[in-house]
Amino acid sequence: MRLSLCLASVNQTPLDWRGNLARLVSVTDRLSADSPDIILFPELSLSGYGCEDAFLWPATIKQAEAALLKFCRSTADIPSLILVGLPVLHKDRLFNCVALLARGRILCLIAKSHLAGDGIHYEPRQFSAWNGPFEAIHYAGQTTQIGQGLLATGSFTLMVEICEDSWVTQRPAAEWAGQIDLLLSPSASHYEPGKATIRRRIARESSRNLGTAFAQVNLLGNEAGRAIYDGHALFAMRGELLLESDRLSFRSYQIHRLEIDLTAVRQEKLHNHARKSARKNPSEPLRLDISIRSRSGSFSAASVATLAPYVEFTRAAALGLFDYLRKSRSNGYVISLSGGADSAACLILVERMFRYALREYTPETLLRRLGRSDLALRLSRLQSSGKATDAVFIRFFMREFCHTVYQRTARSSDTTREAARLLARSLHSQHIEVDVEDMVSLYTEKISTALKRTFNWSKDDLTLQNIQARVRSPLAWMLANATGSLLISTGNRSEAAMGYATMDGDTSGGLSPLGGVSKAFLRRWLLWLEEEGDEFGTIPALGAVNAQAPTAELRPLDAQQTDEADLMPYDLLEDIELACLLLGHSPAAIHARLCENRPEDPSVLAGYVVKFFEFLARSQWKRERLAPGFYLGPLSLDPRSWFRFPVLNGGFSEELAEVKRTIRN
């Protein structure tokens, strides 16, 4: 017997009931001419995964139920078995469910058994985990069943594991090992470097160890602002990965169709006696009243090249920026371009965003996708000029959607000014330069008069540094307001850890795309773009950025200020970040590990460890006020989605005592 399966990744938005439903219906309408037997959508694809505490609102639950009814009506003439995710209230408890639909009927509701509660996930706050057999439920005007278990259609057996259910050791499908023909895993699994490798392993091992065909589909795009989903679709049989989709598409949805030979799955089970050792008394399967027609044809295996780490980062961050731009209904981005690494990285990601988008959309479609029909006439004139090339279109979109500004003070060098100018010209942003020294002087003069004292660098170093950063903020915000754009905050994760930022200065912005990335990684990535390049080529103008030692340029030029002199070497800071924030190691353990692996003097290393923990402890109030950032690595310092830490704390005084003795000795 053969089944036709469609894996449909969709780019949804939390609480966008009309838009989410429209995208689901677009997929089913597109498939209606030759409907597959099964259409699988991702986890919570009807409501959106990132609804956060809005899941707890009665209105949200009612909207989800109403949206499912509309979806049932719109698919009543489609013979496919359709699986779509939504929240469901049952006995005063909320469950993360997948509804199985056929010709407008709700056959059953599968409830998630294992909730993700680590890192950026907070599912146990909103949902209850399902334990127990199926139960009757009256939902959306129909009487059906809710629960978790094996489903029998009459011609094949089916099981659904919702995302985390497939990742845990005690997974629901283990009870029916050897009895499942098809195991489906609708997911909302956020992007993280290397995570695709884990999904591939789960797909292979699930199909081999459970004796089943295994299919998984993931959400797509920047759904709610922070997490980015790659739209990964996988299919495996007999331990072999037979289909893997492209990832990180800029489209509204992706459809992947395949034919499954269930006869081959069943033959494999007969030859594998190990799978017959499943639990002795498994629950009875829930029988579904549907008929699936047998199909003929053959399955053709497909493979997709794995993305290199730097390419994957670039595409993920660019997709995050693309969806944030259109979903926030902004006209573009503004970047305070300092001539340094962080702002350069932000500008590059915006430029790459348009390069990737123009690979998947025509210029006209891209304008509509971004909600900028006001630019249609200008684009039309450009196209009719006879000079329209890919490079010309990139220049058009960058100049219309990306504004950069270099704000000079007496502490600014010609080096950073030229670096900013060269990069802006190379990447075609709408660039301006403004001298703000008079504003710095005005503020300093006014507070000096009010306090009746003169400020100087020996006594007022921090005050005089911060006023320069804060003076730049109003002008950058004014440029964003004047152009209807979103101001990007250029800070990185390493700066957030150390509190190395001026509140209401360089932290200003509505989005922090680098907030989950270490400074050491960014410097390696920028050097790679300059010397090796991505699929779009190298960026020679980065030479002026990469040649510099990173600096805030807030002290007088003769002080030769550098970030690493203020903090510590960035590669060392990255090691301490990961050891503390990801692995939870103590200051003493981190110091011991550094002494084993690094050439610096143990006393010097001890000083760096102490500085990190003391700065980390006193800077939480700053992190509480940072702009939302993308989750692009193994950890984040966003207190609203990953790193929850007390603003007032003991400062690690006891933990650092042993390390401080090392410094004294």
On whether the CB atoms of residues 519 and 574 are closer than 8 A, the answer is yes
One-letter amino acid at 593 equals R
Q: pLDDT tens-digit profile of 593-647? A: 999 999 999 999 999 999 999 999 999 999 999 999 999 988 999 998 899 999 9
Distance CA 378, CA 396 (A): 9
Q: What is the band of 298 on the pLDDT scale with cuts at 50, 70, 90?
A: very low
Q: What is the pLDDT of residue 85?
A: 98
What domains are there in the chain, each with its CATH number? 2-287 (3.60.110.10), 309-561 (3.40.50.620), 568-665 (1.10.10.1140)
Say yes or no to pLDDT of 75 above 60. Answer: yes
Compute the average pLDDT of residues 469-487: 97
Average pLDDT in the 83-96 region? 98
Contact 345, 525 (CB under 8 A): yes
Q: Is the pLDDT of residue 302 over 80?
A: no
The mean pLDDT value of the chain amounts to 93
Distance CA 413, CA 556 (A): 10
Report the half-sphere exposure of 357 (CA within 13 A, side-chain side).
29
For the chain, how many residues are written? Answer: 665
Partnered with residue 440 across adjacent β-strands are none
What pLDDT shows up at residue 272?
A: 64
pLDDT of residue 291: 67
Residue 535's pLDDT band (cuts 50, 70, 90)? very high
The helix (run of H) or strand (run of E) holding residue 664 is: helix 653-664
Q: Angle between the 602-618 and 570-577 helix axes, to the nearest 10 degrees?
A: 60
User: For residues 23 and 296, which has the higher predicted lDDT (pLDDT)?
Assistant: 23
pLDDT value at residue 300: 47
Which pLDDT does position 293 carry in this prediction? Answer: 61
Q: Which residue would you say has higher pLDDT here, 309 or 663? A: 309
Residue 15's contacts (CB-CB under 8 Å, 6 or more residues apart) are 47, 48, 51, 54, 60, 63
Residues 13, 47: contact at Cβ < 8 Å?
no
Instruction: Give exposure, 51-75, as e/b (b: 16+ Cβ within 10 Å).
Output: bbebbeeeebbebbbebbbebbebb
DSSP summary character for residue 578 = I
Question: What does the pLDDT look like over 558-575, one tens digit per residue?
Answer: 889 999 999 999 999 999
CB 645 within 8 A of CB 585: no
Segment 504-519 shows an average pLDDT of: 95
In whole angstroms, give the CA distance from residue 69 to residue 642.
35
The C-alpha atoms of residue 210 and residue 236 are separated, in whole angstroms, by: 12
Q: Is the pLDDT of residue 361 over 50?
A: yes
In the three-class reduction of DSSP (H, G, I as helix; E, B as strand; rest coil), residue 60 is classed as helix
Residue 541 reports pLDDT greater than 90: yes
Distance CA 5, CA 185 (A): 13
Q: Rounded to the nearest 5 degrees, what angle is found at the Cα of 59, between the Cα atoms of 57 and 62?
A: 120
pTM: 0.95
What's the pLDDT tens digit per position in 134-181?
Answer: 999 999 999 999 999 999 998 899 999 999 999 999 999 999 999 999
Least confident stretch, 259-273, 360-374, 566-580:
259-273
Mean pLDDT of the 37-66 span? 97
| Range with the poorest average pLDDT among 271-275, 402-406, 576-580 | 271-275
Phi, psi of 455 (to 5 degrees): -90, 140
More confident residue, 231 or 293: 231
Q: Which pLDDT score, from 0 to 100, does residue 519 have?
A: 96
